[in-house]
Amino acid sequence: MFLQFSASLADSFTYLVPHAVDSFQIYRPDLGNIEHHRWDIFVPQLGYTCGVYWGPFNTFTREFHLIPGLSLLFFAMDIFKSRSDPPSTAVSHIQQPPRRRRIIVALTGATGSILGVKTLIALRQLNVETHLVISKWAEATIKYETDYTIPNIRALADHVYNIHDMAAPIASGSFRVDGMIIVPCSVKTLASISSGICDDLISRAADVILKERRRLVLAVRETPLSSIHLRNMTTVTEAGAIIFPPVPAYYIKPSSIDDLVDHSVGRMLDLFDLDTEAFERWGGFKKD
Ligand SMILES: Cc1cc2nc3c(=O)[nH]c(=O)nc-3n(C[C@H](O)[C@H](O)[C@H](O)COP(=O)(O)O)c2cc1C
């Protein structure tokens, strides 16, 4: 709001106007139009309020004021109003609430699809926002190896993309994510990433993660390994990825496959600084 006043009224209005408008203009014959923000007036008013009045004369500021008693009232009103004012969106340095961690999860056609499913479940329990892509051969191994259906698995994620959707947000570096995990990761997908062939959404998203210098974990599952596999693993490691072959840790003395899976999932998510708290960490040899 913007107002203009004549010089003769300005002195009295300095008490009244600041409480009604955010900025206004006072005409001074010596200075012309002067724009004020209400706080320009409010701050000297503190001086008036703290000063000692002798009639209309303020002994602190050595000025005459027509309505000195009102300054205290307006001072109180301004404090009350500033407390109830909504925060201004124009101020750029206001801290945004932290967003949920965001991780891309890709399942490919290597054996061990349960690792991908349990990873999605763990991320859901950790309140991480997940962006899921499932390859055609992952769907086949999921059906063959587990009792989960594809709709069940899709329902575990916050966002699901078709592997051919190259226009998905995760295909761009401008979409902010905290990292990506491919679990399980076939040697075919490893080779695509290693050679930079972005011919599906999984290899494209992984390529983006590497170029943006974000966390990429590949749970590559194959055995034994050829020199081609090993070279590809070296190449992606040099580009910043982490190879996490889901090899069992026998020292945990697993009593079920679930124990092994939980351990691998927990150790993979450690790489994103996420603690599933679903496995026992090594604390030295136990005395029986
Ligand atoms: C039952 C089954 C198990 C497989 N296991 C592996 C495996 O452990 N590692 C691997 O690299 N490929 C494995 N494959 C082969 C991949 O599915 C195949 O190379 C496929 O093209 C991978 O494509 P994707 O990476 O787009 O999912 C397996 C295939 C089937 C049907």
pLDDT of residue 183: 98
Q: How far is the CA of 253 from the centre of ligand 1 (A)?
A: 29
pLDDT tens for 143-200 read: 999 999 999 999 999 999 999 999 999 999 999 999 999 999 999 999 999 999 999 9
Which pair of tokens denotes residue 264?
A: 């691998």
Ligand 1 near 109 CB (within 6 A): yes
Which pair of tokens denotes residue 201?
A: 């959404």
Local confidence band at 267 (pLDDT 50, 70, 90 cut-offs): very high
Annotated binding-site residue? 213: no
Ligand 1 near 144 CB (within 6 A): yes
Q: How far is CA 155 from the centre of its chain?
A: 22
pLDDT of residue 286: 82
Give SS3 for 147: coil
Question: Could you tell me where the DSSP H helices lie in 93-184?
Answer: 113-125, 136-145, 150-155
Which pair of tokens denotes residue 60?
A: 């602190």
- In order of their start, the domains of the chain are 4-83 (no CATH), 102-270 (3.40.50.1950)
Annotated binding-site residue? 135: yes
Ligand 1 near 140 CB (within 6 A): yes
pLDDT tens for 51-62 read: 455 556 655 555
Annotated binding-site residue? 8: no
